[in-house]
Structure 1
Amino acid sequence: MLISAALGVTAATLSTGAATAAEEGLAVPETLARDLVLPGAPTSATTTEFPLSHLGVSWTGDGEVGLRLRGAAGWADWQTLPGCGGGAGDGSVANTFGGVVAAPRATEYELATSGAVSELRISELNTVDGPIRRIAKPHAQLLRFAGHPVLARYYSRAAWGADESYRFKANGDEAWIPAYYPVQTLTVHHTGEPNETPDDDPVARLRAIYRFQAVTSNFGDFGYHLAIDKRGYVYEGRYSGTDASPVFGPNPGPDGRPMMVNGAHIGGWNAGNVGIVLIGNFSKPDWLPTAPAYRSLRAVLSGLARVLDLDVEATCNYVNPVSAATKTVITLSGHRNWVPTECPGNNFYPYLDGLRREVARRS
């Protein structure tokens, strides 16, 4: 059973812990943000405009970026930022890396680079202290794929407080128009924050990732199709249309199977590839998905495989319908099967073989 000793949580504590904004409803804080684009790492510490909850950093090139944060207790230790490659495009394999890290109440930060690093994009974020934005009181729903139920607690974009204005340009045009493709593969990710703690608010982190990907990284939306937190709650990611079903568009393909909306989770390999991200860092010593998170991941993958008639243990000769690029992968893969990265975590990746077998039995 996959319960991380480092997290120190159980199913009971997860179900009785403090409610998040998604559960309480009524109000969601607007995200405070300042974006910077720099040719390289600044030569001195940067002072923030407001205390941070998170900091997003991305860069071009395969070098490394280090970060240290300063809060009320002084400067923290240096940490290496996650180097997961992403990207909204499918024309070529992306050479952009980075992600979002927790920066609780930080007021200064310093960056250092090694190797090939250019065009640093920095997003100073506070997803907890901004002006309150009122939303309709949300309720957890039963997740459904194309009308078929999945036993997982699910929150729509509206329920977790997604700010839909991020999806639009200043002139009102949609920044990233949905396009729909037949599903060929399913890919598992982790968010990979180096400084995650058991007390992190997953919904606040979700809003930070969304703002960073949609605006700072110019994706135009959340890059993953679904996200799963340590309690096993499933969150709608990429906007797929006005229907109530996540991942898929309103119309089936020629073979009658649902068509997925394009995502932005592996640059160059997105179209036809569903991306599901677990919130957590499963390369940290002894860290693995909690039992509730693993069960929800298994349920989601089983539901997708069943609706799409996918053999998750089979080899897939993936063909990108946009670029015609090809790659041979297992139908249910980890991010690292596509590009060089630790994602979905050095500790969790060896469990994917067993996960495939369990999903195959349930679909």
Structure 2
Amino acid sequence: MVFAATDSGSTSDSTSDTDAAPSGTKPETFPATRTATATGTAPATTTFAASYVGLRWTGDQDGAGIRLADGNWQQTGGGCATIDGGGTALIAADEATSYQVKAPAGATDVHTIAIDCTRGPDRTFHVPSEATRVRGVRYLSRPAWGADESKRYKDGKVNTPEAYYPLQSITVHHTDTPNADPDPAATVRGIYEYHAITLDWGDIGYHFLIDEAGVVYEGRYSGDDLIPAFDKDGNLVTAFHTAGFNSGNLGIALIGNLVAQPPTAAAKASLIRLIKVITRFKGLDPQAKITYTNPVNGVKKDNETISGHRDWLQTDCPGQTMYDLLGEVRTAAATR
């Protein structure tokens, strides 16, 4: 049973700066992501205008902050990414070339990364010539948003080898990045850099992302079988969106901050369509209550087939406005 394909039926996810484009693809260029890392809380400068600053530390989650250039201090939000024993934040840098961070009292191992995902040198990708689809829902494949596959590797090996388990649940997130994003593909590249390299996950943490125009982006790499998120046997690749509850749990992130502003109609519609096709494909009831069982360690948790990030862990994600809409999403996804 084919879950996804291009309209023409053939693609290649390969990327290269020099190779000729394989059949069924066309060359497109995206700016390579530039980064500058720092440790500690001393002021840091960069040689480029930063799109985002990523921050991670060991210690209490609350109490971190950042000051861009000579501006005022601002508290970092709770964010979406979660790690054991510490905190994380990804902050829009507004093209700043300097910044300073403060960590919670007693925090250690403070690491920051300035990320430029819009102005680096061009890199050519082999993008499918025809639209890729998930059971009729169009999505941008990884090469179509400029995913540099080398970032999945560390010391010459895949940093987090793919593991696959039956799908049990779907979790909704927001990326906690600015709304009215003028370049959401660049934001996806920035999140990819932050998750894969700074947090050392080896890839972006979500299976899919959705921007405010309703465009769906393929997230976590799942193999070369043209089936996003799943392997050829229909099992879900493990991603990194709900620490401790990742295996068998599919993560979809809406790009933006949905604490006070609701998702756009287009984003919500795409979320519902995507959940509907996945639950139908896998025979899940979007309105059911479930007992999730982690296939790796046996940990169980009562939840719903379609949940929010905060239903698993202590976090504001997916933002109050999105969380309040989950009942509507479940009902709509269950409609035949």
TM range (shorter): 0.7 to 0.9
Q: Does 1:117 align with 2:107?
A: yes
- Is the contact made by 1:62 and 1:115 (CA closer than 8 Å) also made in structure 2? no
Instruction: Provide the rounded CA distance (Å) in 1 between the counterparts of 2:262 and 2:243.
Output: 26
Whether 2:326 is the aligned partner of 1:355: answer no
Paired AA for residue 28 in structure 2: L
Call closer, same or farther: CA 1:350–1:140 in 2, change over 3 Å: farther
| 2:57 is the alignment partner of 1:59 | yes
* 3-state SS, counterpart of residue 296 of structure 1: helix
Task: Kindly indicate whether residue 123 of structure 2 is the aligned counterpart of residue 133 of structure 1.
Answer: yes
Q: 1:129-152 CA distances to partner (integer Å, 9 max, x unpaired)?
A: 1111112355562422xxxx13x3
Report the residue type matching 1:187 in the other structure: T
- CA deviation after TM superposition for structure 1 residue 85, in Å: 4.4
By how many angstroms is 1:122 displaced?
A: 1.1
Give the corresponding residue for 1:45: 43
8 Å contact 1:83–1:97 — kept in the other structure?
A: no
Match of 2:203 in 1: 221
CA RMSD, 1 decimal = 1.9
- Indicate if the aligned counterparts of 2:80 and 2:173 stay in contact, CA closer than 8 A: no
Structure 1 residue runs of 4 or more that deviate by more than 6 Å after TM superposition: none
Determine whether 1:276 maps to 2:252.
yes
Q: Determine what percentage of the aligned residue pairs are the same residue.
A: 38
- Over 3 Å counting, the alpha-carbon distance change for 1:354 and 1:199 in structure 2 is closer
Contact 1:67-1:81 at 8 Å conserved across structures: no
335-344 or 118-127, larger mean C-alpha shift: 118-127
Q: Which residue of 2 aligns with 1:84?
A: 80
Q: 1:115 to 1:302 in 2, by over 3 A?
A: farther
The alignment partner of 1:248 has SS state of: coil
The gaps in structure 1 that reach 5 residues or longer are: 1-23, 88-93, 252-257
Partner SS for 1:317: strand
Distance 2:57 2:292 in 1: 28
Secondary structure of the equivalent of 1:307?
Answer: helix
State whether structure 2 residue 319 is matched by structure 1 residue 345: yes
Contact 2:210–2:270, Cα closer than 8 Å, also in 1: yes
Which structure is richer in relative contact order (CA contacts within 8 A, separation 6 or more)? Answer: 1
1:266 aligned residue:
242
In the TM superposition, 1:1-363 aligns within 5 A as 26-38=28-40, 42=41, 44-60=42-58, 61-70=60-69, 74-76=70-72, 78-87=74-83, 94-115=84-105, 117-139=107-129, 141-144=131-134, 149-150=135-136, 152-170=137-155, 172-193=156-177, 196-251=178-233, 258-283=234-259, 285=260, 287-362=261-336
Tell me the alpha carbon deviations over residues 1-22 of structure 1, each in whole angstroms, 9 at most, x when there is no partner.
xxxxxxxxxxxxxxxxxxxxxx
Q: Aligned with 1:99: secondary structure?
A: strand
CA distance in 1, matches of 2:265, 2:331: 17
5+ residue gaps, structure 2: 1-25
Sort the Cα spacing of 1:259 and 1:177 in 2 relative to 1 into closer, same or farther, 3 A: same
Q: How many residues align?
A: 310
Q: 1:318 to 1:199 in 2, by over 3 A?
A: closer
Note closer, same or farther for the CA distance 1:259–1:69 as it changes in structure 2 (3 Å cut): same
Cα distance, 1:84 vs structure 2: 3.1
One-letter amino acid of the counterpart of residue 294, structure 1? K
Equivalents in 2 of 1:99, 1:139: separation in Å? 36
| Cα deviation 1:144-198 (Å, max 9, x = unaligned) | 2xxxx13x3311001111000001123x2111110100111100000113xx142
Instruction: Give 1:344 deviation, angstroms.
Output: 0.3
CA contact 1:210–1:221 (8 Å) conserved in 2 = yes
